[in-house]
Amino acid sequence: PHRLCPRNILSHAHPPSQHGFTLIELVTILVLVGILAATALPRIGNSSEFSSRAFRDAVWAAVTHARRAAIASRHFSCVVITANATIITQRIPADPDTLATVINNDCVSQAAQTLGTAIAVPKTLALNPTTLIFSPQGQLVSTASDATIAIPGQPGITVLAQTGFVQ
C-alpha cells in the first residue's frame, strides 16, 4: 500500500504562502512617510520658535524672582533688559529712603549685587531696553502704570504697578 506523508497532503492542499509586501502596501507607506516628513520636519527644524518661548519663560521667571527678592530682602530690586545682551536681576544692598536714590544708582552700578539671573537674548530677537524697579513691598515703582515687556512672536509679560504681580 501507498503510504501518505502529512507533508505531502498539506503541500498539495494549499499553495505555498507568499512572504513580503505588495506593491500597493509599499506605495501607501511611502506616501504616508512623505506626508509626515512634509508636516513634521518644518516644526522640528524651527528652533527659533522654541527658543523665543523658552526665553519668554526665562524673562518671566527673572522678573518674578526680582519681585520676590525685593520682598524677601526688604531692599529695592531691579531687572535690566538690554536690547540684545542679557536680563539681569539685581538688588540694591543699602536700603535707600527714596526712589530717586535707586534711580541714581541706575540699577546696574557697581553698588548693586547680581542675584545670579542672567539670560542671553536669542540672536533672532531684539528687545526694547527696559528697567523695572521693585520696592521692598514688591510694588513696581519704576513706572506709574503697568509695564509690558514685548517679546516678538510671544505673548507680552505684564507687570502690574500697584501689586507688582507678573502676568
Sign of torsion over alpha carbons 25, 26, 30, 31 = negative
Q: What is the pLDDT of residues 33-69, one digit of tens each?
A: 998 888 877 666 666 777 788 888 888 888 888 888 8
Please state whether the predicted TM-score (pTM) of the whole model is above 0.85: no
- Max CA pair span of the chain: 119
- Contact by Cβ (8 Å): 63, 149: yes
3-state secondary structure (DSSP) of residue 160: coil
DSSP output for 82-143 = -SSSEEEEEE-SS--SSHHHHHHHTTTSTTSEEEEEEEEPPTT-----EEEEE-TTS-B-S-
Task: Give residue-wise pLDDT tens across range 131-156.
Answer: 888 888 888 887 778 888 888 888 88
Residue 111: its pLDDT value, please?
46
Residues 159 and 153 sit within 8 Å (Cβ to Cβ): no
- What per-residue confidence (pLDDT) applies to 110? 45
